[in-house]
Structure 1
Amino acid sequence: MIEGSYKEQYARLRDYAEELKKANKGSTVVIQTEQVGAQAIFLRMYVCLAGCRQGFLDGCRPVIGLDGCHVKGPYPGQILTAVGVDGNNGSFPIAYAVVEIESKQSWIWFLRLLIEDLKITSGLSYVFISDKQKGLIPAIETLLPTVEHRMCQEPQLYLGGKQKWKI
Structure 2
Amino acid sequence: MFFQHKYLWLIAAWMVVTSVLGGMATKLGPWYFSLIQPPWKPPDWSFGVIWTIIFILSALAWMIAFNSGASASQKAKISALFWLNSFLNVLWSVFYFRMQHPDWSLIEAFFLWGSVLAIILVMWPIRRIAAYLMFPYLIWVTIAMRLNWETLVLNPGAY
TM over 0.5, yes or no? no
TM-score (norm 2): 0.26
Larger radius of gyration: 1
Specify which structure has the bigger relative contact order, considering alpha-carbon pairs within 8 angstroms and separated by 6 or more residues: 2
TM-score (norm 1): 0.26
Point out the structure with the larger strand share. 1
